[in-house]
């Protein structure tokens, strides 16, 4: 079984600044995938970034990047040059490979507020 | 623009009524998921299909919920009879290695 923990219920950042959201996970699988999803007030679940556990290089998507520490089972999300549109709930999630691929386990979420 | 499409977006119904939610997955995705989101429980997996075959519905209350995938372009989630505790946002997602989510159906049972 997999578990995902987000220890920060809420975070805030000033527009144009950088913020890091934390996530830790636990799994007994060697093949697994990690994700960050964004859920704005519209409630749409939007994929932000994904990381395959077998890849050592940290994933990057424009202003979003991750710090994947496999030994520590840590998967934090860094948002650079924060924008007002980044305000949302952010969920960290994971799934194992093999027959369980796609079955996501979610963290509790972190509400991000962006101040102008 | 490929996307998962869910209907309806909102549903208000009376306790005891049947509710049917529909999902059109992204063309070519062989795995379809149903998730439920509530304030108390967060996001929970209800059921999922691979190549239209049900693989796991252990998260679903069996006595009132049913999920089907009559063809590759349609997945359905039915609740009969509905109860107030079923009020939640129901998400459909499709994908292979990466699940992509629809916009959700907000269900309110009064």
Domain-by-domain residue ranges, chain A? 3-98
Is the residue at B29 inside a domain? yes
Q: Residue B54 is part of a domain; what is its CATH number?
A: 2.60.40.10
| Mean pLDDT, all residues of chain B | 94
Nearest to A92, CA basis, from A75, A116, A67, A112: A75
- How far away is chain B from the Cα of A108, in angstroms, using its nearest Cα? 7
Number of H helices, E strands in chain B: 0, 11
Contact list in B for residue A104 (CB cut-off 8 A) is: 33, 35, 43, 45, 93, 99
CATH superfamily, region A3-98 = Immunoglobulins (2.60.40.10)
Q: Is residue B109 in some structural domain?
A: no
B93 or A101, greater pLDDT: B93
Q: Reduced to 3 DSSP states, what percent helix, strand and coil does chain A have, rounded to the nearest 5? A: 5, 50, 45
Q: Does B26 touch chain A (CB under 8 A)?
A: no
Yes or no: say if A37 and A48 are a contact pair by the CB < 8 Å rule.
yes
Residue B107 lies in a domain: no
Structural domains of chain B, count = 1
Residue A93 CA neighbour count, 13 Å, CB half:
29
Percent of chain A having pLDDT more than 90?
85
Residue B28 lies in a domain: yes
Residue B12, min C-alpha distance to chain A (Å): 17
Would you say residue A96 has pLDDT above 90?
no
Torsion of CA A30, B54, B77, B39, to 10 degrees: -20
List the helix and strand counts (H, then E) for chain A. 0, 12
pLDDT confidence tier of residue B100, bands split at 50, 70 and 90: very high
CA–CA distances in Å: residue A2 to residues A45, A109, B14: 21, 16, 37
Distance CA B77, CA B100 (A): 18
Whether residue A102 has pLDDT greater than 90: no
The residue segments making up the domain with residue B17 are: 5-102
pLDDT at A98: 72
Nearest of A116, A66, A12, A39 to residue B93 by alpha carbon: A39
């Amino acid at each position: 079984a997999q578990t995902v923990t987000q220890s920060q219920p809420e975070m805030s950042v000033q527009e144009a600044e950088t913020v890091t959201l934390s996530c830790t996970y636990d799994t007994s699988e060697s093949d697994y995938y990690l994700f960050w999803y964004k859920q704005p007030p519209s409630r749409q679940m939007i994929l932000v970034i994904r990381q395959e556990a077998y890849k050592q290089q940290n994933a990057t998507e424009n202003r979003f990047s991750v710090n994947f520490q496999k030994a520590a089972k840590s998967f934090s999300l860094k948002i650079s040059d924060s924008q007002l549109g980044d305000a949302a709930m952010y969920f960290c999630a994971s799934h194992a490979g093999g027959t369980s691929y796609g079955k996501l386990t979610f963290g509790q979420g972190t509400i991000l507020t962006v101040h102008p | 623009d490929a996307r998962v499409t869910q209907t309806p977006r909102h549903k208000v119904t009376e306790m005891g009524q049947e509710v049917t939610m529909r999902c059109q997955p992204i063309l070519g995705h062989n795995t379809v998921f149903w998730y439920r989101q509530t304030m108390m429980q967060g996001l929970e997996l209800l059921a999922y299909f691979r190549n239209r075959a049900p693989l796991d519905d252990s998260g679903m209350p069996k006595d009132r919920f049913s999920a089907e995938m009559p063809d590759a372009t349609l997945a359905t989630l039915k609740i009969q009879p509905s109860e107030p505790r079923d009020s939640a946002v129901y998400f459909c997602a499709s994908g292979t290695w990466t699940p992509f989510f629809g916009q959700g159906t907000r269900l309110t049972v009064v």
